[in-house]
Structure 1
């Protein structure tokens, strides 16, 4: 007797996760009558963090649905902007996304970042404990059930990564309010308060400073300010277009 078989069609936005032969149209797939549809979709390579709705024969079903012989399944991507229930929107990034972490912090987005590889279990546990959205290019990490929430980072280019996160989650932006090194909040500071961190030229040339309330790092409009300003302006322009 032949095993039960379903036909699965994956949305084009999710095509990169599945084998090339399955990237267009509906394709037959044998099922065991026991595994959930969520498990079946993950077995194709699609992280459930990237799945918006699962449609079976024209009706939406949960990931716990047990597919039956002959069903036709459509896997749709997450709708944008994505709503994350519960806590205020906060992120956690793995060791490979340091530049993205600094740019999100530059925009005032609460962004935790692990600068060393602490392992998938520890990252997933922190995501759950602090109710942070896990951002990663590691599909295995995004499959961990204990995650609070997660999202795959599709690009390897920091500028594209940032725009994708801003488009997908629409976090509130408050530029120049967070430390790009540790995520702490900034406060205005006098030159005397940060004098021990200033070289002679900086001490002579600048008068406006901020300091991190967590790690004490000093900030001023130095040589890289124009580059940072461009990142902020691009993000704010993008937000204005969304509204």
Structure 2
């Protein structure tokens, strides 16, 4: 039995997932005749979380389509900003993305984070149970079927990671409203109510406080506030610029 040959066209932004010796715009591929289009794409190394759509001979096609001989397959990149239907936009980050998680929380984005490696099956199950978009640089993790939704983090630099996530998902930003330690929501706190959790120097120097409603951590504008404010200001500015560019 002859196995069908198909042509697969890959956009530039997705070619990094291909094997180093096959990073071209057009691939000639021999399939087994029974695997779905989604499986064929994943066999090239491309997680379906990074695919915005599939087309066969110029017509939209579902991932379950079984390619036939001679078909031309177009793999489309995700259109930004990406819409995640069916749930409030919330994230789950794997163990390697702690800095990104803290920066998202600093901006008021709901970003759960596992500080210990609980394993791929557990992470994927948590994503599905809580309906969170799983962010990871682990391509294998993003190919797990039980995921609610996912996104590959393309850079290994926290500044670029943050820009990429904000650009891709366009979350609502509300700086200084989440605990960077546990992701809980913050509320204003009276100084007297948190006095027993403050060092002597802090009690004498500061008067404005916030408290995490989940873990009880107390926040104030201390020595590191200027550095954090710079991160927030830059993110807000770039976020506004992206939105303005899209609107224009």
TM-score calculated relative to the size of structure 1: 0.97
Structure 1 residue matching 2:104: 3-state secondary structure: helix
What residue is the counterpart of 2:24 in the other structure?
A: 24
Distance 1:198 1:154 in 2: 40
Structure 1 partner of 2:164? 164
Report matched runs for 1:116-195 at 5 Å. Answer: 116-195=116-195
CA deviations over 1:211-242 (Å, ceiling 9, x no partner): 00110000001111111111111121122211
Q: By how many angstroms is 1:172 displaced?
A: 0.4
Judge which range, 95-104 or 193-202, deviates more. Answer: 193-202
Which 5+ residue runs of structure 2 have no aligned equivalent? Answer: none
- Report SS of the residue matched to 2:141: helix
Distance 1:21 1:225 in 2: 47
Separation in structure 1 between the aligned mates of residue 240 and residue 159 of structure 2, nearest angstrom = 18
Q: 5+ residue gaps in structure 1?
A: none
Per the alignment, in what secondary structure is the counterpart of residue 28 of structure 1?
strand
Correspondence for 2:35: 35
Task: Tell me which residue corresponds to 2:102.
Answer: 102
**Considering only aligned residues, what root-mean-square deviation do their CA atoms show, in Å?**
1.1
For 2:193 and 2:160, how far apart are their aligned partners in 1? 37
In structure 1, C-alpha distance between the alignment counterparts of 2:190 and 2:108, rounded to whole Å: 22
Which sits farther off after the overlay, 65-74 or 187-196?
A: 187-196
Aligned position for 2:228: 228
**SS of aligned partner of 1:68:** coil
- Measured in 1, the distance between the counterparts of 2:205 and 2:122 equals 44
Say how many residue pairs are matched.
243
Distance apart, 1:85 and its partner CA: 0.3
Tell me the residue number matched to 2:50.
50
- Give per-residue Cα distances to partners, 1:152-177, cap 9 Å, x unaligned: 00111111100000000000001100
Distance 2:185 2:20 in 1: 46
| TM-score with structure 2 setting the length | 0.95
